[in-house]
A and B are shown apart, each in its own frame.
Chain A
Amino acid sequence: MKNIVIIARRELAAYFATPLAYVFIVTFLAGAGAVTFFMGDFFGRRQADLQAFFSFHPWLFLVLIPAVGMRLWAEERKSGTIELLMTLPVTTTEAVAGKFVAAWLFTGIALVLTFPIWISVNYLGDPDNGVIVASYVGSFLMAGALLALASCLSALTRNQVIAFVIAAAASFLFLMSGLDLVLGLVRSWAPSYVIDMISSLSFLTHFLTIADGVLPLPAIVFFLSMIAVCLFINAQIVELKKAS
């Protein structure tokens, strides 16, 4: 546990040591603001809620989360520091968890920085703050699952651009797997339980159930187990790829 904290601290500092952190935060805040007001028609809806804000999070994350996750292992392998890290007295699991925690905290910081919009909506009207808190939690959980996916995939390559592209593609599939766009590909031939399974993996569906304002246990369990599974695979990939 102590090692996870030490690694996470180093990793978090590494985000802020490069312009990436600031570029990410500014892009996220500007993007979140822009889609809320222009595409989400925040004022036109004349409702004191943040639905216009949260409903675009999956699409912002689709691009931004792979950008946060791409460096986690690809950079480590490219610079050779993986040899340093993995010969320190830490287990692979601790290293994987530490890095993930740092990236997740980082996206958490970006989410927290969207607080002005929460203040605004409270100033303008009388929103259901319970729904907003639930939506923030849901958004954070979804970000975590996408990050775990990105971290796992970044261990496959030493090239950050490739890591970004495959993570974005995989994120898209997981987000959309509840929709006909993806299900249509398998519906013609797969048995119905396979289709149910694929659609149950949809990040979007789970996120929307949370954003409705209740915190349903299945959705929370889904995101947390998604994180656990991805990180487990991540550790296996790191072990396997050390040799090459």
Chain B
Amino acid sequence: MADLIEVESLSKRFGAIVAVDDVSFSVARGVVMGFLGPNGAGKSTTMRVITGYLPPTSGTARVLGKDIQRSPVEVKRSIGFLPEGAPLYGDMTVMAFLEFIARIRDVHGVRRQQRIQYSIERMGLEQVLYQRIETLSKGFKRRVGFAQAILHDPDVLILDEPTDGLDPNQKHHVRELIRELGKNKAIIISTHILEEVDAVCDRAVIIDRGRVVMNGTPSELHAKSRRYNSVVVRVKADVAPKAAKLLRGLPHVTAVESSAPVNGSVPLVVVPRDGRFIADEVGIAVRQNGIEVDEMHTQVVHLDEVFRQLTVGQEKPLR
């Protein structure tokens, strides 16, 4: 399948500051790409270059095969963009704003009414249509920004923090919408909410200080964690040392970490070698040795941890 978005060794400098440094990736139709990174990593700048707002310092990007520098207007036509913070014309009513977007995006005739209606329905804007945008809540503003981006049914959607400022229900709703739209569009969403990656993304690109540090599927991302496939075994405090020793001796275990007892029982985190699946092995070992287990589960790796692993180290921690 052809890649709708191709970013090729893109760099963007602001004076001496390198905001984006030799970034390359591509997104095919039907793919939702999560674009992750700490604040100031260059996510927004990259998106601004792809959408034609900023010119690249070097490298380039193509959208539907069109170069962003050679045919900026065609590229802009095929993109729906939700800028960071969803800036909108506050003095307009929601309806007037959507009409304006439809006109300038050359959506006319019957289709204009249909598309406006569709966006309004999808984003649940019916009750605020004739209110001025500046009087709306943050959540509604974000939804108007989203409605504006999908209005012309673009092949490519670029959404800078689309769920920021939404309540949990709205977040869920927007994620569903992204997943649905992602079936036949190429979508890039930037976020620092990592659960969003599991919820909607087919691919994840992590950048840190302008450079790509990881480009893969969410499960590849999970596998990056040292604790991937770890098993947590909770045992009584008095048998904990014995159990820890036993588990440490298993062939596919690299380490057993214990922490302070809670209500008289100690959680032991059994870390596998090379992310191997060890629940079976651990289960058999404890049973055969008659160790009484209060609880046992495979640890869910939080992407936050992977994210920190990949992006911290260069930066001084907050004190």
Contacts and interface: CB of A to CB of B under 8 A. Distances in A.
A83 B145 CA distance: 12
Contacts of A181: none
Interface in A107-161: none
A6 B76 CA distance: 17
Contacts of B54: 242-243
A236 interface: no
A14 B89 contact: yes
B89 A81 contact: yes
A13 interface: yes
Interface residues of A, number: 24
B195 to A, nearest CB: 27
Chain B interface size band reads 20 to 34
Given A17-B132, A90-B73, A83 B89 contact: no
Interface in B36-72: 48, 51-54, 72
Contacts of A6: 100, 103-104
Contact of B91 (A3, A18, A83, A244): A18
Contacts of B106: 89
Interface in A55-98: 79-84, 86-91
B14 A89 contact: no
Contacts of B52: 86-87
B250 interface: no
A10 interface: yes
Contacts of A86: 52-53
A7 interface: yes
B83 A87 contact: yes
Contacts of A79: 87, 89-90
Contacts of A13: 92, 96
B92 A10 contact: yes
B146 interface: no
Interface in B212-242: none
A86 B48 CA distance: 10
Given A13-B96, A18-B91, A89 B77 contact: yes
Contacts of B74: 89
B81 interface: yes
A89 B83 contact: no
B150 interface: no
Nearest to B13: A243
Given A13-B96, A17-B132, A243-B54, A84 B88 contact: yes
B79 A87 contact: yes
- Most chain A CB within 10 A, of B52, B76, B87, is at B87
8 contacts: A14-B91, A14-B92, A81-B89, A83-B83, A83-B84, A91-B72, A91-B73, A244-B14
Given A3-B104, A13-B92, A86-B53, 11 more contacts: A6-B103, A10-B92, A10-B100, A79-B87, A81-B87, A83-B87, A84-B81, A84-B83, A87-B52, A90-B76, A242-B54
Interface of A: 3, 6-7, 9-10, 13-14, 17-18, 79-84, 86-91, 242-244
Interface of B: 14, 48, 51-54, 72-74, 76-77, 79, 81, 83-85, 87-92, 96, 100-101, 103-106, 132, 148
Q: Which 4 A-B pairs have the closest CB atoms?
A: A80-B87, A17-B91, A89-B77, A83-B83
